[in-house]
Amino acid sequence: AQSVAQPEDQVNVAEGNPLTVKCTYSVSGNPYLFWYVQYPNRGLQFLLKYITGDNLVKGSYGFEAEFNKSQTSFHLKKPSALVSDSALYFCAAQDTGFQKLVFGTGTRLLVSP
């Protein structure tokens, strides 16, 4: 069965510092991996995806993620955090041949001024 783990409920970082939000996955085949962000009382906004190719994927708002097959990880990163990045971040996986997304439990990012 597919599963996604986000080991941190919350990540705290100071504005201007780099941030990392961790994600590991378990799928039976080659994974499609996604990051979404959710602001209060809003739906999920697509940030980036990994399908194949370069292990470093660049997305919206300066975010990027690194796919590591040997560690089955897909960590979200940003070189310099903004206060406005504070939100709930979800990692998701989709196994080839399946259509549904399996989500992690979410990580709350808090960027302090």
Q: Which residues bind another protein (CB under 8 A)?
A: 32, 34, 36, 41-46, 49, 51, 90, 92, 94-96, 99-106
In the complex, least distance from residue 80 CB atom to another protein, rounded to whole angstroms: 25
DSSP strand pairing (31-38 vs 102-103): unpaired
- Alpha carbons 31 and 84: distance in angstroms, whole number: 30
Residue nearer to another protein on the CB measure, 94 or 111: 94
Q: Rounding to the nearest 10 degrees, give the CA dihedral for residues 85, 31, 92, 104.
A: -110
In the complex, least distance from residue 68 CB atom to another protein, rounded to whole angstroms: 18
Residue nearer to another protein on the CB measure, 105 or 112: 105
Residue nearer to another protein on the CB measure, 5 or 82: 5
Judging by beta carbons within 10 Å of its beta carbon (0-12, 13-18, 19+), is residue 82 exposed, middle or buried?
A: middle
